[in-house]
Structure 1
Amino acid sequence: MKFSENWIKELIKDYNNLELFSKSTLEINNIIKINKNNNIYKAIVGKILKIKTNINNIILYIDIGFKIIKKIYLNNKKYILKKNDKIIILCKKNNININYIIYSSNIINNREKNSIIKLNNSKFNIGENLINLIDINDNIIDIIIPHNRKDINSIYDIIKELNLIPPLKFNTIVSKNKLNIDSKLYNIYGFKIINNIYINNNYFTPIFIQERLIKSDIKIENNLIKNIANYIIIKYGYPIEILSLSDTEVKNICLKFDKNNILSFFNINNDLLSIVGLSNKNFSLNKIKNNILIICIEFKKDIIDNNINKYINKNKFIINLYKKKIDIDILNLIFEDFINIINLILNKSYNLNIDIINNNINRNFIILKKSTINKYFGFKINLNKLLEIFNKLNFKFYIKKKYYKIYPNINRIDIKKEEDIIEEILKCYEYNNIPIEYKYINNNYYINNIDKIKNFLIYSGYNEIISYSMINFNINIFKDKLIYIKNPISNDMSILRNSLIYGLIKTAKFNINRQQEYIKIFEHGVCFKYSNNNRIIEEQKISGLIYISDKFIYNYNIKKYNYNFNNLKGEIEIILNILNIYYNFKISSENELINGLDIIKKNKKLGYFGYIKDSILNHFNLNKYKIMIFEIKLLFLDKKKFNINNIYKFPINKRDLSILIKDNINIEELIDKCKLVDINIIDVFLIDIFKNLKLEKILTIRILIQGNKFTLSDIEINIIINKCILMLEKKFKIKINNV
C-alpha cells in the first residue's frame, strides 16, 4: 500500500517521523523521497493545443504562455485528454527548455504513469505558477501489510496502527430513515441522499484530491464523483456505493439479488441501477438522474463469502473493504467529508443530515483482569496512562472493580484473548518507558540442584530410568538390615530397596541380553534403611551405570565411546561441584560392591564409584562384562544455600594454584586459611585433585581476587598470590607443582 507521508502529517499533529513505523507491525517496503526545492522548480499552467495519438503514446503540444512545447506521454485509453484542456507542467526555473514534466507520479518515482492533474479551464491562466499548490516536499511510503492484518487498508487504519489518535470529531446529524434493504443482508449501513445536483465536465477534481490519489498509485478518472469516492475509500478504508438516481428512484430504491444471484440495486420497475461493488465504476449524472445516493453497508459474512466474493474475487482490496466491520464514528466522518468536498466544489451548502441503521449486532468483549496486567507487566501501570492507551487503540471499555470489560476495535480480528490486549498495551507503552526496578531477594534463598544434575547426566549421554522401590530379598548385596514388607505382592517385591543399584543392574542385564553394547543409565529416587533408634528413614540418592563393550568401540572406531574410570571420575567431580561441597576421594577398601573410590566429606561417606566386583557380577550372571557404577546420597544435599551478592563494581581476577600436599592434610582447612590471607580474596575453592605417577597427592585450587575500592593491577594480584603460597608452605608444608 502506498500513501503520502504529508497526508498523515496533515491529519495528526503529533506525528514525528518514520521511526514510528519501526514500533508498529507495519513493514516499510520502500520510501520514495520527493524533495524538490520550490525555489528551483515551478509548476506552470499549460493549455493543450493539439493531440496526436498512436498505439503506444500520445503527443501533446502544450502552450505555456511564452512557448509551445512538445511532450510524449504514455497512452491511456481510459483517460481522455481533449484540446484546450489545462494541465500542470513541472519544470526548472533556470532551464525552461529542458526537463518538462507533466505533473504525475513520475515526480515520485521517475517513471511515467497514467495520471495527470487536470485544471479548471476558467480558474487558472496559461503560464501561471502553481508551485505553492503542489505538495512537492514529501515521502511516498510503500508498506507491507501483515497477513493477519487485512483491516489495515486506509490512512486512518495506518494512523491507528502507529498508536496515534486520528481526528474523530464530526458534525453530522443522524436520523434513522430506512431504505428498502432486507435486514438479513446487513449488520449496519448509513446513507445520504443529495438532491438536485448536477455536475458536468466543467467541474474538475480538486488538486489536493488528485495529488493524494496519484501518490497512492490510484488513477485519476475523468469523473469528479468517482475521484472523490476513491479519495474517501483510501482515507477511511470503507466501501462506499454511489448511485445517480431520478426523483422517483430516490423514494423506491431496493437492494436484492438478481436472477444470477448477484446483489444489486433496483428501482420500482425492477430496472437494474447498479451492482454492489461495481456502483462507482459506471457512475454518471445527467438532467434526469440528478440525485446522488451515497451508501456504506456492512454486509453479513455469509453474503460476502457466498455472493459478493464470487463476482469481484479478483480484486482482493475491494473484498477486504467489504469484510471490515463498520465503526460508526468513521461512518459519520465519511459522509461529512464527502458532503464538505461537494459543497467546496459546487459552492453549495448541502446539510450534514445522514441516516444510520443498526441491526444491534452484539460485539465480542474481553475481560482483562487488573491483576493480570500487573503480573505480565512486572510493574504497576498508571491508570490514566492505561486509559489513554485504550483510547489510542480505539478500544471501548468499562471499568469494573477487579477487571476491565473491553470491546476491541471491531476490525482487529487478531485480538481474541486477554494476552492479545496485553501485547497491544505494551506496544503502545513502549519498551523504553518500562521502569527499571531492582528486586531484593532473601539471603536464605534455596535452589534445587537435582534438575541441574539430571540435565548434566542427560547431556553426557545418560538415559534416566525409573524402577520399583521394592525388590527381591534374594538379590540383596548389602549387609544392611533388611526392611521386609509384611504382605508382599510377590517375592520380587518383598523388601524395600536400600540402594538404586538393583534397578540399574536389572535394566542393564535386560539390554545386554538383547545385544545392546552401549549403556549409560541413571536413576534418582528414594531408598530406605533403619536408623540408630530402629526407625525407617528415607534417603534421596542418585545412581548411574555405565557399560560400553570393547566390541562396540572396535566396530565403530569412535574415540568418544572409549569410556574409562577417569571419565567417570570427571563426571562425579562435576556433580559434586554442582552440589557445591568440599570432598575427598578415598580408596574403597571396605566396600563390598565396587573396586573404586569412596566420596568423603568431613569423614562421612557420601557415596562411591568404580567397577562392580566380579563376585557381584556373578550374583547377577554378568561375570563376562566390565560395568561401572556410582551412587551419591542427596539427603542433605538436594538444597543448596544460594547467597545473593551485590553487583561487582570492579573486575574479578582468578588464579589457579597446583600444589603437592600430604595425605593427612585437611583440604577444607587449607581452603579456609587461604581465604583469610588477604581482604581482597573473595573466594577459594577446589577444582581438581589427583595423584601423579609418584603417588603424590596434587591439589588444584582457584583463588578469586577483587579490589574493594579500585581495580587491582597484576603486580598487586601477584603479591596476594605470593602471600598465599608463603602461608601454605609455612602452615601445610606444601610444594608448588610446576608440571
Structure 2
Amino acid sequence: MQISEAWLREYVNPAISTEELVAQLTMAGLEVDSVMPAGALFSRVVIGEVLTTEKHPDADKLKVCLVNMGGNEPLQIVCGASNVRPGLKVPVALVGAVLPGDFKIKQSKLRGVESAGMLCSEKELGIAADASGLMELLHDAPVGTDIREYLSLNDSIIEIDLTPNRADCLSVEGIAREVALLNGMDWTATPVKEAKINHQDSLPIVIEEKSACPRYLGRLIKGVNPKAETPSWMQERLRRVGIRSLGAVVDVTNYVLMELGQPLHAFDADKLVGGITVRMARNGEALALLNGQTITLDNEALLIADEKQSLALAGVMGGSDSAVNDSTQNIFLECAFFAPRAIAGKARRFGLHTDSSHRFERGVDATLQHRAIERATQLIIEIAGGSVGPISEVKDDAILPQRPAILLRRQRIVKMLGITLPDDQVQRILVRLGMCIDQHPEGWLITPPGFRFDMAIEADLIEELARVHGYNNIPNNSLLMRAELGKATETVLDIDRVKDLLVDRGYQEAITYSFVDEDIQQAVVPEDGLIKITNPISSDLSVMRSTLWCGLLKAALHNLNRQQNRLRLFETGLRFLNVSGQIQQQKMLSGLILGSYYPGQWGERPRKVDFFDLKADVQALFSLAGRPVQYVPAKHSALHPGQSAQILSQAGEKIGILGMLHPSLEKQLGFETQVFLFELSQDLLLNKTVSRFKSLSKYPSVSRDLALIVKDTVSADDIIAAIKGSNETTIQDIVLFDLYRGKGIEENHKSVAVSITVQNFSQTLTDVEIDAIFNNILQKLAKTIGAKLRD
C-alpha cells in the first residue's frame, strides 16, 4: 500500500523525521518497502495560462503560444503538444529552470522562432512515468504560483508491505492510528457530518445472500454536475497512493476507500431498472466489467443486480453497463459489508485484483459503512453538487461479525513476554488500539474493535502489547529446560544425508512450485490424471504436479537461457496423484543432469553426460542406504525407450525410474541438448539396511578374469546373478570391466569381461581348488545364460 506522508501527518504529526517514521513502522510490523519523493527535483516551474496559439510558420506540428505568467508581459513559448490550446493552465519551466535529469531550460529558437521557456507534461516533471500531452491544471489554478507549492510536491510516498492480518492499516486513518499509538499521541478521525436530505426518493434493496452480504447501504443523489472537476488536492492525493483521476464521482469513492478503508461504488441511477438485489450469479450469466473484460459467471459468484441485468461483481469490480460517465447526473451510491469468505478467490478466478477485493478478502470493519457513505456524500456535494436522498439500509445483525470479549491475564503477559508491564501501560496501549476494557480479577476483559479481525485469543492481545512496547525493549533470557535426546533408528536414512551426497556429487537443490503448467504436465506425463486447482494464482500454475520433473525441466530451461550450460539439479517434495477419486501425496526425490560431465578444466577431454553417469549418481544413493537394487528396461512417455530403466528392490518393489528425456519432448520443450532424469520414492529409498561387521580373512585372495560371449539380450545383472548362483562361498567380489562388439564376435552377441575375486577364510586356496571354483562358475554361466569363454 502506498501512502502520502503529508496526508498522514495531517492526522498525526510526531516530531520525528521521515527516516525515523519509516523505522518505527517497520519495527511495529508494518514493513516499509520503499520511500520515494512525490515529485522529482526541479526548480523555476510555475503555473501559466495559455492566451493564444498560432501555427508555427516553418513547422506543421509546432505552435507559437503566448503564455500569461502573472507579470506585465506574456511569454512567447513554442510548443509541440497536441493538447495545447487557449485557456489551458499548465506548468511552465522558465528560462533558468532545471528539470529532472539535469535538463536546463535556456532562451532558444525553434525553427527560427524565439521561445522563452517550456510548457511541461507530467513526465517531464518526473511526476508520472508517461504522458500523452501537457499536464492540464484546473481552471482555478493561480497563475504565477510555483508548481511545487501548488501540488505540495515536497512530500514522500511511503510504500508499506502489510501482512494479510493487518487489513485495518489499508487506509490513511489506519496508518495514522498506528503512528499515534507508537508515539503516545492522540489523533482525530476525519469529521463526517450527516448530509441534509433534499428528497425522499430511494431504491428498494433485497439481499438474497445475507451470509455473504449481511449489510448493504444505498443512497440516491440527483442532479450532480457531470462536468465538475476533481480538486487538484484530491487528484494529487490519489496519484500519490497509485490511483489516477477518473472523474469527480469515481474519484470521491476512491478517495474514501484510501482515507477510511471502505470500498464504495457509484452506479448511474438512470441506467438501473427497478431495485437492487444482492444474489448469486446464474451459471453462464455474463457481465461486462469496467476494465473492458466480459466474464462468464457461475453460481458461486456474488452479484449486485437490478430487475433486468447484473450490475457488478460484488466486492470486486463494477459493470460497464451501469457505470457513471461524463453525462451522468443521477447516481446510486453503494456501500456494503461483504463477508471475506464470500469474496476470497473470486477476483483471482477471473484474473482480477482490485483495491476493493484486496480489502474485502482480508476484512473490512462492519461498523464503518454508515460513516463512509456519509463521507462520500459530503465530498460529492462539495465538488459536484446534487440533491441528497435518504440512506436505504438492509442488514442482519445476527450474521454481522461479532467481537466477543477476550480475557487478558496479568500472569499470562509475564509468562509469555518474560517482563512485567504496569497496568496503566497495558490499558493505555489497548485503549489506543481501539479496544474496550473492563476490569477482571485476573486482569482485563478486552473487546476488540470492528476493524481488528485478527484479535481472537489472549495471545493476539499479548502480541500487540509486545509489538507496541517494542521487541527491542524485551530482554533476552536463556531458556532453562531439561532436554532428552530422541532415539534415532539406524533402519531409516535421513533425507538430509541424501541431499548432502548429491551436493557432494555436484548437484544443486531446486525448490519449485507444487502447482505447474497444465501443458507441461500433459506433455511429460499424459497418462496421469490432472488435478486442477479451483483458484490458481496464475493460468500457468493451474494443476498439481504428478511428477517433480515438471518444475525441474522448467528450472533447467530458465538456467540454460542464462548461459548456464552444465546443470545438475535435484528436488525433494510431494507429488499428487488421483487414485480412484482420492488425492494421494507421495514424497519423491527427483534429479536432472545435462551438459558436460566435467566442469571446465585442462586435464580431461570434454564429453557430454550420458545415461550411465546418471545411473552412477543414483547407484551412489542406494549404496549409501546399503540397498541392492535391480535396473530393468522400462517404458515411460517422457523418456527415450532405449535409454530408460525401472529401479526395483530385491523384492520387486518399484522404487523409481531414470532415463534420457525423449527426443520429441526435448524438442517440444525447447532443449538443444540431451537431458537425463531420475525420480525415486523417498519412503522406499530411505529404508536403510543396517551394516554388520564381517571378519576379515588372513589368507590371500585370488582374482581371475573371464571374457564371456553372451547374447545381446543378456544384461550385466544376469551375468552377476548367474555367477552368484554357482553357490561358491569363496566369491568375494565381481567386477564387470569390459564390453566389446565387433570383429570376431558373431551378430547379436557381445563380449563381456568380468573380474572375479575369491578368498577362503580357513586356508590358502590351491590352484586345483581355484580351477574347480572357476569351472563350476563357467558351467553355471553356460547353463543359465548360455555364456561361453571367448577364444
TM-score, normalising length: structure 1: 0.49
